[in-house]
């Protein structure tokens, strides 16, 4: 694979309660890189550090040691404001419980990353958001509040929102965790489709081996270490 | 193109709309607070202005009198024991009063000067006699000191020859009507027959009983002060500048100069104390409103933890989150001040309809000065902003991971 790496982790560690008697290291020297267009699953038992790793890659938390580059930029030297900006512009999040803003309509939720990045809503952002909602099959529900949508629909809105600024990296934390199998398949297919279309890198935390098997690559995390990192057989899915 | 709110106000307003009950409560609190402040301020300002106006309605702002006569000892030495008796102050004229009047008139801040000759007399009619104060004035000039024409109940405020203007109480006591005759007798034995050309009611029974206005020359001859005046009455542009003007005049003339602020020192002290207690009440109301806004926003920040985390994850900076909550505080303050001013206006209308003066006039006018509304809006918005500061900073410091997880 010769595509440029979107994320690169080298010897990354994360410890909590640093310098206190209860200091615990949850990630021990993670080396990982994800290239453009790659679609990888991150699996592992509960407490293995998956969510922490995802938060660190998503720049929501800072690593204790090691190196993290996003799009070739070392993040260690960046200020809080630069980190926030980088997160907003190049990373799209899909959370387990959709995490839409209940006070805003589906359309406004999808526009929100652009509103934040540009300071105010504009026609272009609205057009993009409408197109994205159309792509996830929810154009008719654009003006509904999240509470008026079903779980699957909410998650579709969340995916549309994650894609709003055409990020280079999509991070999904059990995006299908609380959905029925049928809806979960739909959501997964949607992610996969966008991954192909926009060539962004995707890292998806999942507990579902069935879904993991449909990714390009499975990274298994056990006790804060990468136990194995293997391409799947079904790499060339139809 | 339609108008679109920028990020921070957009989210702030949406949060306020979402927390309907909280927003209503906090708005009600702010509205009540602003209403109390605006109502109190307007009421007390008006009442104080009225009291001052009423007091000054029958008084000159500044009065110049001759210097008091004192006994001086010829031998000025501490070695002699002596008893110095204070002298009785006889009626005297201000030395060279025309020059003094001109000097006073040229003093900045002085708008009118009127020479007055005043002394004791008896008003006699038939068997009845009343002690009165004979006031020799130039009606035209005196009107600019006391607005006599506003108080006239009969005739005009004009004196000429032996035509005089007396108060309604004196008229009643002596059974006098317009154009009736009235004799004044003075301690020095002089007397004169006056004809009543006008009756006034100045709103003060004592003055209505005592003042008898005649021409300046008549009073001068009756009181044995030919060509002289016993005092100069002054009007100043700004009533609260009366004291400095009096001080300057005293310095320039070494005469006895007194401002209404000295004459009514007690009244002024009372007004000042009233202002102090008013300020105290206002400060407490402001503090209570600020605490109310702050506490509601603190709760709101906790409730909105998840949303704050989501916004941060989507790239919103700490300062953006800070702005969201500051704006909420400011909006609550601003809207509360508008509603509060409206409520205060309603209260003023209701109370001015209920409370009336002895003469049936409303005790105060049901009007709001724009500057009070502007002041209330400014203060309330600032208080809203300040009270939002602590909650907003808490929101901005929130760890996005913790926020989302919770």
| A226 part of a folded domain | yes
How many C-beta atoms lie closer than 10 Å to residue B179's C-beta?
A: 11
Taking 80 as the threshold, does the pLDDT of residue B77 lie above it? Answer: no
Taking 70 as the threshold, does the pLDDT of residue B259 lie above it? Answer: yes
- Which string of DSSP letters, residue by residue, matches A44-79? --TTSSHHHHHHHHTTSS--SEEEEEETTEESTT--
Confidence of residue B240 (pLDDT cuts 50, 70, 90): confident
C-alpha distance across the termini of chain B, in Å: 40
Domain that holds residue A194: 36-62+79-235
Identify from B15, B307, B315, B324 which residue to disrupt to test chain A contact, counting A C-beta atoms within 10 A and taking the largest count. B315
Number of CB pairs < 8 Å for A and B?
71
CA distances from B202 to A128, B123, B132, B211 (A): 79, 19, 15, 10
- CATH number, domain with residue A89: 3.40.50.300
What is the pLDDT, as a whole number, of residue B313?
84
Arithmetic mean of pLDDT, B277-306? 87
| A9 part of a folded domain | no
| A30 part of a folded domain | no
Chain A residues near residue B311 by CB distance under 8 angstroms: 101, 112, 116
User: What H or E segment, with its residue span, contains residue B372?
Assistant: helix B370-397
Burial (CB < 10 A; 0-12, 13-18, 19+), residue A110, is: buried
Taking 60 as the threshold, does the pLDDT of residue B232 lie above it? Answer: yes
Calpha distance B316→B41 (Å, rounded): 43
Find the CB nearest B4 among A103, A112, A122: A122
Domain count, chain A: 1
Do the bridges between strand A201-205 and strand A217-222 make them parallel or antiparallel, or are there none, so unpaired? unpaired
- H helices within chain A, ranges in order? 50-57, 80-90, 106-118, 123-135, 151-162, 181-198, 209-212
Q: Is A144 on the interface with B (CB under 8 A)?
A: no
Give the length of chain B: 406
What is the pLDDT, as a whole number, of residue A76?
83
| A25 part of a folded domain | no
What is the pLDDT, as a whole number, of residue B387?
87
Calpha distance B168→B40 (Å, rounded): 36
| A69 part of a folded domain | no
| A71 part of a folded domain | no
Tokens 């000759």 belong to which residue?
B117
Minimal-distance CA residue of chain A relative to B13: A103
pLDDT in tens, chain A (238 residues): 456 788 888 888 888 887 888 888 888 888 888 888 888 888 888 888 888 888 888 888 888 888 888 888 888 888 888 888 888 888 888 887 768 888 899 999 999 988 888 888 888 889 989 988 888 888 888 888 988 988 888 888 988 888 888 888 888 888 877 778 888 888 888 888 888 888 888 898 888 888 888 888 888 888 888 888 888 765 444 4
Do the bridges between strand A39-43 and strand A201-205 make them parallel or antiparallel, or are there none, so unpaired? parallel
Burial (CB < 10 A; 0-12, 13-18, 19+), residue B71, is: exposed
Q: Do B6 and A99 touch (CB under 8 A)?
A: no
Taking 60 as the threshold, does the pLDDT of residue B1 lie above it? Answer: no
- Which tens digit of pLDDT belongs to each residue from B342-395? 998 888 888 888 877 766 677 777 777 788 788 888 888 888 888 888 888 888
| A29 part of a folded domain | no
What is the pLDDT, as a whole number, of residue A1?
45
CA atoms in the 13 A half-sphere facing the CB of A8: 12
| A43 part of a folded domain | yes
């Amino acid at each position: 694979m010769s595509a440029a790496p979107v994320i690169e982790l080298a010897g990354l560690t994360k410890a909590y309660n640093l310098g206190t008697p209860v200091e615990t290291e949850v990630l021990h020297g993670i080396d990982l890189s994800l290239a453009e267009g790659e679609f990888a699953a991150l699996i592992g038992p509960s407490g293995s550090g998956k969510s922490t790793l995802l938060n660190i890659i998503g720049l929501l938390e800072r690593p204790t040691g090691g190196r993290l580059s996003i799009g070739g930029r070392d993040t260690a030297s960046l200020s809080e404001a630069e980190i926030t900006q980088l997160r907003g512009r190049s990373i799209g999040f899909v959370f387990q419980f959709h995490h839409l803003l209940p006070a805003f309509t589906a359309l406004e939720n999808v526009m929100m990353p652009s509103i934040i990045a540009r300071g105010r809503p504009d026609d272009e952002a609205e057009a993009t958001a409408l197109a994205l909602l159309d792509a996830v099959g929810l154009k008719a529900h654009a003006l509904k509040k999240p509470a008026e949508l079903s779980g699957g629909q909410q998650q579709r809105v969340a995916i549309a929102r994650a894609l709003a600024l055409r990020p280079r990296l999509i991070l999904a934390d059990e995006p299908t965790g609380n959905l029925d199998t049928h809806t979960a398949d739909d959501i997964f297919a949607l992610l996969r489709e966008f991954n192909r279309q926009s060539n962004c890198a995707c890292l998806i935390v999942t507990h579902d081996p069935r879904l993991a098997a449909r990714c390009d690559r499975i990274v298994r995390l056990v006790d804060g270490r990468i136990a194995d990192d293997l391409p799947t057989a079904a790499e060339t899915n139809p | 193109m339609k108008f679109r709110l920028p990020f921070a106000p957009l989210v702030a307003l949406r949060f306020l709309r979402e927390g309907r009950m909280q927003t209503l409560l906090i708005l009600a609190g702010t509205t009540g607070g602003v209403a109390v402040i605006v109502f109190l301020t307007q009421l007390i300002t008006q009442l104080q202005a009225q009291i001052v106006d009423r007091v000054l309605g029958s008084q000159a702002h500044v009065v110049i009198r001759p210097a008091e006569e004192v006994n001086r000892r010829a031998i000025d030495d501490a070695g002699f024991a002596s008893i110095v008796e204070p002298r009785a102050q006889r009626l005297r004229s201000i030395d060279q009063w025309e020059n003094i009047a001109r000097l006073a008139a040229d003093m900045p801040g002085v708008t009118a000067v009127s020479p007055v000759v005043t002394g004791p007399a008896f008003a006699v009619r038939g068997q009845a006699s009343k002690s009165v104060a004979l006031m020799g004035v130039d009606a035209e000039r005196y009107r600019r000191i006391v607005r006599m024409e506003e108080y006239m109940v009969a005739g005009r405020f004009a004196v000429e020859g032996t035509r005089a203007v007396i108060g309604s109480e004196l008229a009643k006591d002596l059974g006098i009507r317009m154009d009736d005759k009235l004799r004044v007798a003075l301690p020095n034995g002089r007397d004169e027959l006056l004809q009543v050309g006008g009756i006034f009611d100045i709103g003060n029974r004592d003055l209505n009983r005592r003042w008898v206005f005649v021409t300046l020359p008549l009073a001068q001859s009756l009181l044995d002060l030919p060509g002289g005046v016993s005092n100069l009455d002054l009007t100043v542009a700004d009533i609260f500048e009366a004291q400095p003007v009096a001080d300057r005049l005293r310095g320039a003339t070494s005469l006895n100069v007194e401002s209404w602020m000295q004459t009514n020192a007690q009244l002024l002290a009372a007004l000042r104390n009233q202002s102090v207690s008013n300020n105290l009440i206002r400060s407490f109301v402001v503090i209570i409103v600020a605490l109310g806004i702050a506490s509601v926003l603190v709760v709101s920040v906790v409730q909105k933890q998840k949303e704050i985390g989501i916004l941060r994850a989507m790239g919103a900076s700490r300062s953006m989150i800070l702005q969201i909550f500051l704006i909420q505080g400011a909006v609550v303050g601003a809207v509360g001040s508008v509603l509060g001013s409206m409520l205060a206006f309603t209260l003023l209308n209701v109370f001015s309809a209920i409370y009336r003066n002895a003469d049936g006039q409303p005790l105060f006018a049901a009007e709001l000065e724009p500057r009070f509304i502007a002041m209330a809006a400014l203060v309330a918005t600032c208080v809203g902003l300040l009270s939002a500061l602590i909650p907003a900073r808490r929101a901005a410091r929130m760890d996005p991971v913790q926020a989302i997880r919770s």
